[in-house]
Structure 1
Amino acid sequence: MSQPSPVVVPAAPIAKKVPAPRTHHDDTFVDPYEWLRDKKDPEVIAHLTAENAYTEAVTAGQEPLRRAIFEEIKRRTQETDLSVPARKDGWWYYSRTAEGKQYPIYCRVQASDGTAGAPDAGDGLSAWTPPAVVPDAPVPGEEVLLDGNAEAEGHPFFALGGAAVTRDGSLYAYSVDHAGDETFTLRIKDLRTGEHLPEAIERVFYGLEFAPDGSRLFYMVADDSWRPYQVRVHVLGTPVEQDTVLYQEDDVAQWTGIDLSSDRRWLLVSVGNSEYSETRMLDLEDPGAQLELVLGRQERILHTAEPFEHEGRTRVLLTHNGRPGGREGSAPNNMLSLVDRSELAKPVADQDWTTLVQHSDDVKIEGADLSATHLIVSLRRETISTVQFAPLADAITAAEAGRAPSFVEPAFGEELYTAGGGTTEYAAPVARLSFTSYFTPPRVYDYVLATGELLLRKETPVRGGYRSADYVAERAWAAADDGTKVPLSVLRRASVQRDGTNPALVYGYGSYEVSMDPGFAIPRLSLLDRGFVFVIAHIRGGGELGRHWYEDGKKLAKKNTFTDFVAATDWVASSGWADPKRIACMGGSAGGLLIGAVLNLAPEKYAAAVAQVPFVDALTTILDPELPLSALEWEEWGNPIEDAEVYRYMKSYTPYENVRPAPYPTVAAVTSFNDTRVLYVEPAKWVQALREATTSGRPIVLKTEMDAGHGGASGRYEAWKDRAWDYAFIADALGATDLLP
């Protein structure tokens, strides 16, 4: 076993203290570091710069290991590669990556018949077989829509926010971010000439869609707190100043978004949060159409809606967690229903809904999609996400007769995997599917709707002699304090022995009903090849075991998330797979809050921790509705402004307020200066508090990307360097720097 590299630790930066009292519900908290919030203050910049210099000095001995892990990631990655072309109308769309280039190049080639994709097109499989595009060879007739490398040139950051193309393939709209603050500039390119239209729309958010005739472009705008609240309409060829507001949401606790229906006839405007939602739809084939309400928020039904045409009638497919006029949340794992458009004018309690799929306590319906011929249902069963298909007409007939539709589910032959729908063209005879597992690289299939045949279109190549048989993924269960069984995914090299000597990393998230699904990750192999046992804790607050799993880890049940993670760590320590003194933990964003809370609960259980863009000062943030996205968080954590019980409960676990004299492990907090979701000030304050309180003498560092956002630095090579930094930090702290023989 190798030992951690020796370092001469310089003096850590000490921020000045400026007491800032914060009083709520007769409780006063004095925050000495709140002044660090002013990112325009030169003293703040100087402090972050000093922190970066300190971090660089403390971790200088890890640089060879960082370089080694980066090269391992690079060596295993097929740098010159491309996505499987996806058909839309008369074109095949795909993206390329080239060796040495940071960003994808987005391309298309014309389909041989130039017509497939229209509702009356032929349905032969040959028309839907992707062209043989070779990664490192030029493609006859290839058109470059957008070269991310050219767009990034001269900028410290680049991210693509969204893209849309007109039905006739002549115009391409896209939005780019050059700061990392998730605010984008929207431009429109004429693909016939290669020139851009004169209009450029600044400060747009995610979400943009063309009307079918290409005359209008719908896009989202966020308010000053980065909450998407306006749907605007731009008429091509007119000044941007004349753009109109199709919809505006004034409730600061609601998030607004747009999408197209599967048949692209309807624009869907959705408003909601994690507990209920509202949907409106706009008929894009009627220039004079107005938004129609599908289901209002006053019903307190969490849902999604998909309008479609069937036998001359417009119907709406609803995925929803409650029944009209019924008990709120009476179907927490969701059910599927059909309602005629004509019913929408009635009070919801009087509407006639036809049940397609009943609620199940054991299976969560994650969503539903439609093709011209089939119903496609995404579901989650025993933590695993997969997909089922049924002929649409047969499903409707069965439902109207009071029978359950008959579904077919593809078999993938693995225990722990993730399968889901990708881009499915409405009129296609195939559905595009994605598949991956912890040690199976991503695969793309076309599922033949008529026969159920799976056509493998691509498995992402992994270089460097990778063999999936060299690794093992197993399911285990930890026992939480209240007796709840918490699922764990335990990953290791097959050669690792259960002898109690191995290093381990426990990873978790546990918020917003987000599931940590099985997926292949090349960087993770570098830890496994150094003997790590990598454990993913599927803790409450996520969605792995259905809606109740989420509800048992939010608001006044949030502490279950943290105690579940500690239970997972205890399982690792007692399993025989790991040395109890060589366990690290890692999480990001809300998972960073998890790490902060867990370190306060049980710092002695960990030798090292990495908290990525950590939400460690959550109470301060949520108490200020003027801060970015704060009001939207009330449905996740509760509203501590109005509810004294929520305030007291949050204050009892939020990491920054609960730092205490304790033997904290080696800690790295990684953040981004331009992050609009979790502000850099949160980890900056937390690190100061940890350093002042820790009794272990172990280093606690803050690493701030000065030109990045919530996802870190842009560009794939920079992302690999970031992950190499995190993993080297952990491996060095645990004395696991050498590759296994």
Structure 2
Amino acid sequence: MKIKSFVSLALVVISFLSCKPKVKLPEPPIAQKFPKELSIHGDTRIDNYYWLNQREDSSVIDYLKAENAYTNAVMKHTETFQTKLFDEMVARIKKTDESVPYKTNGYYYYNRTEGDAEYPLYCRKKGNLKAEEQIMLNVPEMAKAYSFYNIGGYSVSENNEILAYSEDTLSRRKYTIKFKSLVDDKVYPDEIANTTGGITWANDNKTVFYTVKHPETLLPYKVFKHILGTSVKDDELVYEEKDNTFYTFCYKTKSRKYIIIGLSSTLSSEYRYINANKPNSKFKIFQAREKDLEYSIDHYQDHFYIRTNYKAKNFRLMKTPVNKTEKENWIEMIPNRDDVFLSNFEIFKNYLVVGERKNGLNQIRIRNWKTGEEHYLDFGEETYDAWISTNPEFDSDMLRYGYTSLTTPTSKIDYNMNTKEKTILKQQEVLGDFNKDNYEAKRLWATAADGTKVPISLVYRKDMYKKGKNPLWISGYGSYGSSSDVYFSSVRLSLLDRGFVVATAHVRGGQEMGRYWYEDGKLLKKKNTFTDFNACVEYLDNQNFVDRTKVFAWGGSAGGLLMGAIVNMRPDLYKGVIAAVPFVDIVTTMLDETIPLTTGEFDEWGNPKNKEYYDYMLSYSPYDNVKAQNYPAMLVTTGLHDSQVQYWEPAKWVAKLRDMKTDKNPLLLKTNMDFGHGGASGRFERLHEVSLEYAFVLDLVGINR
């Protein structure tokens, strides 16, 4: 059905921009209402904007274009300022730059950027860093024909002669795998479409394993085996996942001895393995899936090593002989601790390295295999992030890790685990007059309604800070157990140098404080995420850290759901809100199992086909809880090709907000017609989106230069 009644309004708004605006801005687009009844559990919801999910309907595209035109018109007076913001962000970035090389299988691998190029060159050198450079992928050249281009991953055969890589040219995260010779640059005719982008080589230099996505739900569900030089149509299906709540993936162990098929849902895991030297063998189950049993595996010498929550809420580290992989044979190495979350691990010949999280901060723990002696790295800052980086070689006493903080640019560091000496290999270079001593970071604790202490990390410029006078930009996420770790951002300086305090609320639903922090912010406890965020804002208000009349919040994806919930609950706390690709129509989406990724999320949000979960989700769903009240100024962004959160969720939300809100604050919807969930693919191009967001907020506090 064509929705024709909207077209004339769309054309009026679009044509407005072809004329010079005199004084008055155009009226905002008003989406037509076509009531649709959605009934379940004896409850009927009326969705007036359900028609916006018809991506191929020209009237839907007209509406989105009209909203874009309206946003452009409202923000037109900031265009010069947006350009200034963009230029200063770009000016801080070292244009010609190079990553820190890492060595694997006799070669050093790295990527580098040149001048104004939006994309990197992927390179390698044989034997040592003084050897001749070989450019494996010239991405700036490869991307020329596309408005969006992204390399999903690449993998080199064991004999170092063939490169397999994957590319996405639509921004739907559906990758096509291609092959080229690293001996003569010959491009193979083999092309494998609709994959996750990951490629795993067997040790015979001709066999690869890859995962494909379901054509409708986009769930990765099948693993195929391809032999180079044969027809993709003849590829053998080696595994198909029948349970649509599980995601499927494939990788090779660090030892290069095993190929692993991984199967993961929110609360359960299963792994299957074969010898990488025998790609035609049948995959064996490592440990059969069980409800609430999560584990991950790697291999070293005669054992598999297992990070698991088996009888361990905060996870523990175990090992098992390679021929006895069931959990009854697992031997504990590092026990569960109530106050420490075991995040990951890395195995070396002489050392075991463990990533942990305590009191909301990442730690790196090092154990000598022979002596059993242990120590932790000391990072020396109040709030920071540190992580185990790329360490593909077993036979090394050198640990490579990453470090950053709100005031310290991201660094790659080599740490000698034997001598305990640190070598900073590279620290992000910030061009211009940046001096980290001009900024101060703090870690504070707000108290939630139930008495829980919620950490806040914040940073400000010392010479511009006046207690109770500065505007606040605060962000949060709080879903999927994904922790909002702090990091340095040269882009963020554009706010800090204009007097903003920038904060992160580490709300429940993440995993900052351990597994219970995640469990207390999901399913039937999801509202803790929202009330925690509001509590953090109230704390900063009440303690007079910031100007309570100039509070701005930002969240993306599930963090966009957070934004939608907080403005329904406490719109009075915020001057403005930016919701990027927001997941706001949670009930309708989670009831539709044809929408990409829905079924894999039941353990996160609940399945609304169960009335208890339906009622609870409905009680906080941002779209369903829009009401006649004043809302803060809002900028909502989305991508037409978004495969994670479909564009119609934010589009419907904005339409309903515009119909019901009682204020005259700006409400803007910006749809990127070329991109998806991650936005623009170029390293500079994406800064145009940030410039719009910053200009929107800065304009609301009267800063325009």
TM over 0.5, shorter chain: yes
Structure 2: distance between partners of 1:256 and 1:373: 33
Alignment of 1:204-283 (within 5 A): 204-223=195-214, 224-283=216-275
Alignment of 1:538-557 (within 5 A): 538-557=506-525
Q: Give the match's secondary structure for 2:86.
A: helix
1:328-374 CA-partner distances (Å, limit 9, x unpaired): xx311100111113323x6x4xx232110011111100011212332
Contact conserved, 1:586 with 1:611, CA < 8 A, in 2? yes
What percentage of residue pairs aligned between the two structures are identical? 37
Question: Which stretch of the first structure deviates more once superposed, 268-277 or 292-301?
Answer: 292-301
Q: Which residue of 1 aligns with 2:323?
A: 342
1:234-255 CA-partner distances (Å, limit 9, x unpaired): 1111111111112111111111
Q: Which residue of 2 aligns with 1:115?
A: none
Alignment of 1:37-48 (within 5 A): 37-48=53-64
Q: Which residue of 2 aligns with 1:67?
A: 83
Change in CA separation of 1:336 and 1:53 when aligned onto 2, cut-off 3 Å: same
1:233-287 CA-partner distances (Å, limit 9, x unpaired): 1111111111111211111111111121111111111112221111111111234
Q: Give the match's secondary structure for 2:499.
A: coil
Q: Give the match's secondary structure for 2:66.
A: helix
Change in CA separation of 1:45 and 1:184 when aligned onto 2, cut-off 3 Å: same
Q: Give the match's secondary structure for 2:374.
A: coil
1:297-352 CA-partner distances (Å, limit 9, x unpaired): 1263111111221xxxx311110111xxxxxxx311100111113323x6x4xx23
Once superposed, what is the RMSD of the aligned Cα atoms? 1.5
Q: TM-score, normalised by structure 2?
A: 0.95
Q: Which residue of 1 aligns with 2:73?
A: 57
Q: Give the match's secondary structure for 1:267.
A: strand
Q: Which residue of 2 aligns with 1:3?
A: none
Structure 2: distance between partners of 1:66 and 1:665: 22
Q: Which residue of 2 aligns with 1:124?
A: none
Contact conserved, 2:351 with 2:367, CA < 8 A, in 1? yes
Alignment of 1:716-731 (within 5 A): 716-731=683-698
1:180-233 CA-partner distances (Å, limit 9, x unpaired): 000111100101011111111111113211112312111110102111111111
Contact conserved, 2:167 with 2:197, CA < 8 A, in 1? no
Q: Which residue of 1 aligns with 2:152?
A: 161
1:58-113 CA-partner distances (Å, limit 9, x unpaired): 1111212211211111111111100011111121110011111001111111114x
Q: Which residue of 2 aligns with 1:534?
A: 502
1:511-565 CA-partner distances (Å, limit 9, x unpaired): 0011111211111110011101111100000111000000000000000000001
Q: Give the match's secondary structure for 1:718.
A: coil
Matched, 1:583 2:551: yes
Structure 1: distance between partners of 2:537 and 2:570: 10
Question: Which stretch of the first structure deviates more once superposed, 161-170 or 335-344?
Answer: 335-344
Following TM superposition, by how much is the alpha carbon of 1:393 offset from its aligned partner in structure 2, in angstroms? 4.6
Q: 2:304 aligns with which of 286, 293, 316?
A: 316
Matched, 1:410 2:377: yes
Structure 1: distance between partners of 2:27 and 2:117: 39
Q: Which residue of 2 aligns with 1:653?
A: 620
Alignment of 1:503-542 (within 5 A): 503-542=471-510
Q: 1:732 aligns with which of 696, 699, 703?
A: 699
Q: Which residue of 1 aligns with 2:636?
A: 669
Matched, 1:568 2:549: no
Structure 2: distance between partners of 1:466 and 1:497: 17
Matched, 1:381 2:358: yes
Structure 2: distance between partners of 1:646 and 1:702: 30
Q: Give the match's secondary structure for 2:480.
A: coil
Following TM superposition, by how much is the alpha carbon of 1:577 offset from its aligned partner in structure 2, in angstroms? 2.3
Give 2:313's aligned amino acid: P
Q: Give the match's secondary structure for 1:658.
A: coil
Give 1:388's aligned amino acid: R
Alignment of 1:166-181 (within 5 A): 166-181=157-172
Give unmatched runs, 5+ long, in structure 2: 1-21
Structure 2: distance between partners of 1:542 and 1:253: 20
Following TM superposition, by how much is the alpha carbon of 1:498 offset from its aligned partner in structure 2, in angstroms? 3.5
Change in CA separation of 1:315 and 1:393 when aligned onto 2, cut-off 3 Å: farther
Give the total of aligned pairs.
682
Following TM superposition, by how much is the alpha carbon of 1:288 offset from its aligned partner in structure 2, in angstroms? 4.4
Q: 2:469 aligns with which of 501, 505, 512?
A: 501
Contact conserved, 2:316 with 2:342, CA < 8 A, in 1? yes
Alignment of 1:396-545 (within 5 A): 405-429=372-396, 430-545=398-513
Contact conserved, 1:319 with 1:335, CA < 8 A, in 2? yes
Q: Give the match's secondary structure for 1:704.
A: strand
Matched, 1:103 2:103: no
Following TM superposition, by how much is the alpha carbon of 1:496 offset from its aligned partner in structure 2, in angstroms? 2.9
Q: Which residue of 2 aligns with 1:366?
A: 343
Following TM superposition, by how much is the alpha carbon of 1:407 offset from its aligned partner in structure 2, in angstroms? 2.2
Structure 1: distance between partners of 2:276 and 2:684: 41
Q: Which residue of 2 aligns with 1:325?
A: none
Structure 2: distance between partners of 1:461 and 1:483: 42
Contact conserved, 1:7 with 1:61, CA < 8 A, in 2? no
1:365-414 CA-partner distances (Å, limit 9, x unpaired): 001121233212111111111322223355xxxxxxxxxx4322222222
Give 2:317's aligned amino acid: L
Structure 1: distance between partners of 2:503 and 2:198: 35
Matched, 1:196 2:187: yes
- Segments of 4+ in structure 1 off by > 4 A? none
Give 2:51's aligned amino acid: W
Structure 2: distance between partners of 1:19 and 1:265: 58
Alignment of 1:600-615 (within 5 A): 600-615=568-583
Q: Give the match's secondary structure for 2:226.
A: strand
Following TM superposition, by how much is the alpha carbon of 1:7 offset from its aligned partner in structure 2, in angstroms? 7.7
Q: TM-score, normalised by structure 1?
A: 0.90
Structure 2: distance between partners of 1:422 and 1:483: 36
Structure 1: distance between partners of 2:395 and 2:642: 40
Contact conserved, 2:389 with 2:400, CA < 8 A, in 1? yes
Structure 2: distance between partners of 1:460 and 1:573: 34
Q: Give the match's secondary structure for 1:556.
A: helix
Q: Give the match's secondary structure for 2:387.
A: strand
Contact conserved, 1:503 with 1:736, CA < 8 A, in 2? no
Q: Give the match's secondary structure for 1:343.
A: coil
Contact conserved, 1:530 with 1:737, CA < 8 A, in 2? no
Structure 1: distance between partners of 2:24 and 2:251: 55
1:26-45 CA-partner distances (Å, limit 9, x unpaired): 11101010110010000001
Structure 2: distance between partners of 1:277 and 1:352: 17
Q: 1:354 aligns with which of 295, 316, 331?
A: 331
Contact conserved, 1:376 with 1:389, CA < 8 A, in 2? yes
Matched, 1:305 2:297: yes
Q: Which residue of 2 aligns with 1:182?
A: 173
Structure 2: distance between partners of 1:432 and 1:531: 36
Give 1:267's aligned amino acid: I
Contact conserved, 2:29 with 2:63, CA < 8 A, in 1? yes
Q: Give the match's secondary structure for 2:375.
A: coil
1:474-520 CA-partner distances (Å, limit 9, x unpaired): 00111111111110011110113333221111110010011111211
